Amino acid sequence: MNLTLTSALEALIRARVESGAYDSAAQVVEEALLLLEERDHLRALRRERMLQELASGVFQADNRHLVDGDEVFRGLFDKASEPTE
């Protein structure tokens, strides 16, 4: 596979190799793709968690298990502040 990169991306890859952190440009690109895959996986996990929370909320509302709005927003803020795995 052949790719055409911008000069900025070429410079970034070259700098990473020259720093000694990587042995080759291919290794830099491989690491970048693995990180991209990891990021996409984390996004999918977060989305699934959000959908589960929404489903739980709909179930609770349907069954009149309602919570004060300020309490809900505090909980959402706390969850957003949690470190991701």
Domain boundaries, the chain: 7-81
Alpha-carbon distances, residue 40 vs 13, 35, 56 (angstroms): 22, 9, 24
| Cα–Cα distance measured from residue 45 to residue 51, given in angstroms and rounded to the nearest whole number | 10
Q: Which residue did the predictor score with more confidence, 67 or 14?
A: 14
Q: What is the pTM of this model?
A: 0.63
| pLDDT for residue 48 is more than 90 | yes
Q: Which two tokens stand for residue 4?
A: 């055409």
The fraction of the chain above a pLDDT of 90, given in percent, is 67
Residue 26 CA to residue 14 CA, distance in Å, equals: 11
* Per-residue pLDDT band at 85 (split at 50, 70, 90): low
Share of the chain above pLDDT 70, in %: 99
What's the pLDDT score for residue 7? Answer: 97
Predicted local distance difference test score (pLDDT) of residue 18: 98
Q: Are 28 and 17 in contact (CB under 8 A)?
A: yes
